[in-house]
Chains A and B, each alone.
Chain A
């Protein structure tokens, strides 16, 4: 039913539709970004049902506080992923969540999520294997911690027991790798 017409707009079109509060913007927003955002949310909020709740909260927040997004300061997705990450971290740290769940510490368990979610991964994606091979394990883990799990680079340095400077370089190297791969 939903597959019949997935809506896709250019980023500029989407931004102006969001600004004008057009209904089409809602659908386009969901169809274009729900997967990527849920990918980030699920790394932090492990529970599937709660992650889906957070995704909903994320879209509502994006919709309601869209006026605070400034296109000059960066891409739409960068802003949205920050919203999603912050809401996820809030959720994990909330009393509610801690009472409901066995308090699942944010662990460095890079493979944990992958194993759990492997079956849901978009199978149409091409080149993932190539990418994984190109990223060194240390680069992959730093991206996992900082980009997906919302660690600050200070927290990541503590967690990995490496100097702050090393975290920064590693992060930059990892992103450079991604850039040569994607761009």
Chain B
């Protein structure tokens, strides 16, 4: 009881009524009041005294103000036309006298949350895009290489055909048909020769010679002033195409082909002659 008396005399209850206490202190006083009727009665006394004092110091507002304020409140009432709900009970002590209002921090929070999610999504999408683009790039590069190869072989072929056509268009070139000897009557080949340009070529495509083995090669000879002159060696294969240029010669009177050991011989082996033509 002594404690309560000291508590009352400390002046804290006056400060409570004057609204001059922190939130914690306020709750403390309210707890005391609910436990001790004397404290509660003391608070009520203080309140009544101050209320009376305020009434004594009242200032009568001007007449016109009554109408104005009542109208604004009635408008307010009409606007929130809601029926009195359970919200208007003592159980909602949201301290109207507190001026401290928490800032709505959730807004910024959710902003960063969404921003993070958005950038994550963008990252995933761009990674996926990068991956598929890379695939396409590699595919394209493969195709380009393929096309370049094809182009190369076409160019080669065109070159070859060009050469062949040039042979036929060159008026200085003579086409000499070499006929098989009695030993190889079915053999045949064509030599293109330009005496002015000293150019000798053999047509590999229309060549009709037996395929040579690995130890032997065919050797082309020109007969110049009664002596055989080596014009180079060649192989005969079924799938060979195009013209092959041989060594040059100016004034030949005959062309002949013999079979010689691989690499060719200095002098022709006469009994191995397969085709010959005199000019």
Query: Which residues of A are at the interface with B, using a C-beta cutoff of 8 A?
Result: 1-2, 19-21, 23, 26-27, 30-31, 34-40, 42, 52, 55-56, 59-61, 63-75, 77-79, 81-83, 85-86, 90, 117, 120-122, 125, 127-128, 131, 143, 146-148, 152-153, 168-169, 171-172, 175, 178-179, 181-183
Could you tell me how many residues of chain B have their Cβ less than 8 Å away from some Cβ of chain A?
57
Q: Which residues of B contact A71 (CB under 8 A)?
A: 90
Known: A1-B63, A38-B61, A68-B96. A74 touches B17 (CB 8 A): yes
Chain B 84-97: CB-based contact to A (< 8 A → 1; otherwise 0) = 10011110111111
Q: Is the CB of B89 within 8 A of A67?
A: yes
The interface centre, meaning the residue of B10, B62, B95 with most chain A CB atoms within 10 A of its CB, is B95
Q: Is the CB of A66 within 8 A of B88?
A: yes
Q: Is the CB of B58 within 8 A of A169?
A: no
Q: Whole-angstrom distance from the CB of B273 to the nearest CB of chain A? A: 122
Q: Is the CB of B84 within 8 A of A21?
A: yes
Q: Is the CB of B48 within 8 A of A52?
A: no
Total A-B contacts with CB atoms under 8 angstroms apart: 182
Is B155 part of the contact surface with A, judged by Cβ < 8 Å?
Answer: no
Q: Is the CB of B50 within 8 A of A178?
A: yes
Q: Is the CB of A86 within 8 A of B97?
A: yes
Is B279 part of the contact surface with A, judged by Cβ < 8 Å?
Answer: no
Q: Is the CB of A52 within 8 A of B56?
A: no
Known: A68-B93, A122-B58. A178 touches B49 (CB 8 A): yes
Partner of B96, one of A61, A125, A169: A61
Is B145 part of the contact surface with A, judged by Cβ < 8 Å?
Answer: no
Q: Whole-angstrom distance from the CB of A77 to the nearest CB of chain B? A: 5
Partner of A128, one of B11, B50, B56, B68: B56
Q: Which residues of B contact A55 (CB under 8 A)?
A: 61, 65, 69
Known: A68-B94, A86-B99, A172-B9. A26 touches B66 (CB 8 A): no
Residue of B nearest to A78 (CB): B47
Q: CA of A37 to CA of B61 in the docked complex: distance in angstroms?
A: 10
Q: Is the CB of B88 within 8 A of A38?
A: no
Query: Which residues of B are at the interface with A, using a C-beta cutoff of 8 A?
Result: 9-11, 14-15, 17-20, 30, 33-34, 43-63, 65-70, 72-74, 76-77, 80, 84, 87-90, 92-97, 99
Known: A64-B76, A153-B20, A171-B11. A2 touches B66 (CB 8 A): yes
Partner of B59, one of A42, A67, A86, A178: A42
Known: A73-B93, A168-B10. A85 touches B87 (CB 8 A): no
Q: CA of A30 to CA of B9 in the docked complex: distance in angstroms?
A: 35
Q: Which residues of B contact A66 (CB under 8 A)?
A: 88
Q: Whole-angstrom distance from the CB of B98 to the nearest CB of chain A? A: 8
Q: Whole-angstrom distance from the CB of B154 to the nearest CB of chain A? A: 85
Q: Is the CB of B96 within 8 A of A182?
A: no
Q: Which residues of B contact A79 (CB under 8 A)?
A: 96-97
Q: Which residues of A contact B90 (CB under 8 A)?
A: 70-72
Q: CA of A30 to CA of B63 in the docked complex: distance in angstroms?
A: 12
Q: Is the CB of A179 within 8 A of B47?
A: no
List 21 A-B pairs, Cβ < 8 Å.
A19-B84, A20-B88, A21-B77, A35-B59, A36-B54, A36-B57, A52-B61, A74-B43, A75-B51, A79-B97, A81-B54, A86-B19, A86-B97, A131-B56, A146-B18, A146-B20, A153-B18, A168-B15, A171-B15, A172-B11, A179-B48
Q: Is the CB of A85 within 8 A of B47?
A: no
Q: Which residues of B contact A77 (CB under 8 A)?
A: 47, 51, 54
Q: Is the CB of B57 within 8 A of A39?
A: yes
Q: Which residues of B contact A21 (CB under 8 A)?
A: 77, 80, 84, 88
Q: Is the CB of B49 within 8 A of A183?
A: yes
The interface centre, meaning the residue of B65, B70, B73, B92 with most chain A CB atoms within 10 A of its CB, is B73
Q: Is the CB of B49 within 8 A of A60?
A: no
Q: Is the CB of B17 within 8 A of A78?
A: yes
Residue of A nearest to B52 (CB): A182
Q: Whole-angstrom distance from the CB of B50 to the nearest CB of chain A? A: 6
Q: CA of A147 to CA of B14 in the docked complex: distance in angstroms?
A: 10
Partner of A153, one of B15, B62, B70: B15
Q: Which residues of B contact A40 (CB under 8 A)?
A: 54, 57
Partner of A26, one of B61, B70, B84, B96: B70
